């Protein structure tokens, strides 16, 4: 939806989970010299001001990255994520938050490719300017669900697809399933990472089970629940990431990280996490 702006939510607890996992997956992909292609179907602007009016309106980053910024007990993989956020803030102050394209730009190597899709005209313009002449990067102002078809399989037969639409309407849930089903027919061995919000919608609750049916070669599902919805049942209680063909190291890494994030980011006594996988 063109009205959606991630700047309102930049650096919140959902971003912490998503980008911690993304950092872990990209680090794993980098262990092999063979190049790969990362495809972000809903890329956003690439970076967001935490001092601007969008981020300041609800201050969601205060319950996310702010809780980690100055801690000295971060687990190694969380420290890696936080250090990348700090790298994005060279002045040493927490003024900007990197979006997924920025994490990719910081971690992808010269031989790798980056394919970004963003429909919002303002965010697309900012993203294109940010990536500029970055080697191997291409930015498209077309629908990411549709654009994915032309990006898989990459010639190297190695790739990561990140899919994190706004889910503001009901249609995105079905489009996630449809786009992944078609992509897997073209590129079954790819790594596919889907982020989803934990909200009071049937579609959100059933999405992980629907994704399981698309993953005959194995999957991993991590969810972090940190707050209680408001009195009317609205609000982002937490979020999850579902990975098809996950790195084999990911489960054990998350098993040590999710309890920590639950303790640090939890906003009520019932804060909890879920970690499950199927290995084929």
Q: Indicate which residues carry an active-site annotation.
A: 164
Before 112, cis peptide (omega within 30)?
A: no
Cα 45 to Cα 236: distance, rounded to the nearest angstrom: 22
Sign for the CA dihedral angle at 199, 204, 209, 213 comes to negative
Q: Please provide the DSSP assignment of 183-238 as one string.
A: HHHH-TTSEEEEEEEE-S-HHHHHHHHHHHTT-TT-EEEEEEE-----TTS-S--E
What 3-state class would DSSP assign to 98?
strand
Cα 6 to Cα 218: distance, rounded to the nearest angstrom: 30
Asked whether 244 and 192 are in contact (CB, 8 A), the reply is yes
How many secondary structure helices (H) and strands (E) does the chain include? 10, 10
Q: State the residue for tokens 């399933």.
A: 177
Q: State the residue for tokens 């001001």.
A: 49
Cα 214 to Cα 85: distance, rounded to the nearest angstrom: 33
- Return all residues near 12 (Cβ < 8 A) that are at least 6 apart: 60, 61, 63, 64, 236
What's the Cα-to-Cα distance from 24 to each of 141, 177, 221, 248, rounded to whole Å? 28, 24, 14, 11
């Amino acid at each position: 939806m063109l009205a959606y702006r991630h700047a309102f939510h930049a650096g919140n607890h959902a971003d912490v989970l998503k980008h911690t996992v993304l950092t872990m997956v990209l680090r794993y992909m980098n262990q092999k010299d063979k190049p790969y292609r990362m495809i972000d179907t809903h890329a956003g602007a690439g970076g967001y001001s935490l001092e601007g009016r969008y981020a300041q309106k609800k201050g969601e980053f205060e319950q996310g990255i702010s809780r980690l910024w100055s801690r000295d007990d971060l687990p190694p993989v969380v420290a890696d994520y936080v250090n990348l956020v700090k790298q994005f803030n060279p002045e040493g102050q927490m003024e900007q938050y990197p979006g997924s394209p920025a994490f990719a730009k910081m971690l992808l190597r010269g031989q790798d490719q980056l394919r970004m899709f963003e429909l919002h005209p303002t965010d697309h313009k900012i993203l294109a300017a940010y990536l500029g002449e970055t080697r191997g990067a291409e930015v498209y102002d077309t629908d990411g669900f549709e654009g994915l078809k032309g990006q898989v399989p990459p010639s190297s037969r190695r790739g990561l697809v990140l899919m994190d639409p706004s889910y503001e309407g009901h249609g995105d849930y079905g489009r996630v399933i449809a786009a992944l089903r078609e992509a897997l027919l073209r590129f079954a061995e790819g790594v596919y990472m889907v982020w989803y919000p934990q909200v009071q919608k049937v579609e959100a609750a059933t999405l992980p089970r629907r994704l399981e049916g698309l993953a005959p070669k194995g999957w991993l599902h991590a969810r972090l629940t940190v707050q209680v919805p408001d009195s009317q049942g609205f609000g982002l209680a937490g979020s999850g990431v579902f990975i098809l063909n996950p790195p084999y190291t990911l489960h054990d890494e998350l098993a040590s990280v999710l309890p920590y994030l639950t303790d640090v980011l939890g906003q009520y006594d019932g804060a909890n996490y879920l970690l499950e996988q199927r290995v084929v």
